[in-house]
Amino acid sequence: MTANSSSLMCGRHRLDLSYPRVMGILNVTPDSFSDGGRHVALDDALRHAERMLSEGAAIIDVGGESTRPGAASISSQEELERVASVVEVLVRELDALVSVDTSSPEVMRESAALGAGMINDVRALEREGALAAAVGSGLPVCLMHRQGEPRDMQQAPRYDVPIEEAVAEFLAERVAACEAAGLRRDRLLLDPGFGFGKTVEHNLRLLNRLECLADLELPLLVGMSRKSMIGKVLDRPVEERLPGGLALTALSVERGARILRVHDVAPSVDAVNMTWAVLEEGC
């Protein structure tokens, strides 16, 4: 089968993106803000991934470095130890399409060798050596916009141009850098990076204008699950943000998102499929 614009080759897996898909979040950090440390044990990680796949997740996103606001950075070695064993077991036991949430060239290389199918880099391959590692992996890469580093990014985010222009400009520049380094355009996905150096107002406007990113003609991935933009608008603690998140999921599908990165897979799959039915069948 040959790849076309609505499918993405992810190692041994072909990901059909002719309709919107759900990516389930699997944190292997001891300090992840919403399910802190519970999935560190390999067996727990395996069971959690298995459940998300059975609920309809197409991709499992494994992350070993917490990028929540204020998080401290960790060494590549520490990150590699956390992530490698999980990637390996999900590939071997579940034949899952595993995405690795990392900015580290070493983690990219090792994960690709272990059978990962996608790289999800919140730093858009800006770390030294990351572009070359991504090219060498042969895997698709999600390039995300952010301003600042997790440590300080939410302190006082501001932009000199409208947020959607700043994001589109940054992503276009990163796409050009990737192409110049030999990463094929048909291996790239884009993400506006909700919550990464953005106020609530920035996030809301960016979602409303998500279509501004469609000009780059690459699949869009979005992640808003349980994020503080929901907490702030609705005044909800993290464990009560699912209904608000489902509203954002539906809206992002309507605005063109093709991959939804979420914690709560079953309800999100329903929200995505219901929204898609209206868009596709209801014309």
Residue positions annotated with a catalytic role = 227, 261
3-state SS assignment for residue 270: helix
- Which x/- pattern, by CB under 6 A, does the window 13-52 give for ligand 8Y7? ------------x---------------------------
Give dist(CA 250, CA 135) in Å, integer: 33
Q: For Cα atoms 199, 203, 207, give the angle at the middle one, nearest 5 degrees.
A: 170
Q: How far is the CB of 7 from ligand 8Y7 (least distance, A)?
A: 19
Q: Given candidates 13, 68, 109, 255, which one binds ligand 8Y7 under the rule CB under 6 A?
A: 68
Q: How far is the CB of 59 from ligand 8Y7 (least distance, A)?
A: 11
Q: Return left, alpha or beta for 152; rule: phi > 0 is left, psi -120 to 50 is alpha, else beta.
A: alpha
Give dist(CA 174, CA 185) in Å, integer: 11
Q: Given candidates 21, 48, 82, 227, which one binds ligand 8Y7 under the rule CB under 6 A?
A: 227
User: Beta strand 13-16 with 7-10: parallel, antiparallel or unpaired?
Assistant: antiparallel
Give dist(CA 46, CA 70) in Å, integer: 28
**C-beta separation of 203 from 192 below 8 A:** no
**C-beta separation of 92 from 64 below 8 A:** no
**Closer to ligand 8Y7 by Cβ: residue 20 or 63:** 63
Window 148 to 207, contacts with ligand 8Y7 (CB under 6 A): 191, 193-194
> How many positions of this chain bind ligand 8Y7 (CB under 6 A)?
16
Window 257 to 276, contacts with ligand 8Y7 (CB under 6 A): 261
Q: How far is the CB of 100 from ligand 8Y7 (least distance, A)?
A: 10
Could you say whether residue 120 binds ligand 8Y7 (CB under 6 A)? yes
Residues that bind ligand 8Y7 (CB under 6 A): 25, 63, 67-68, 101, 120, 122, 142, 144, 191, 193-194, 221, 223, 227, 261
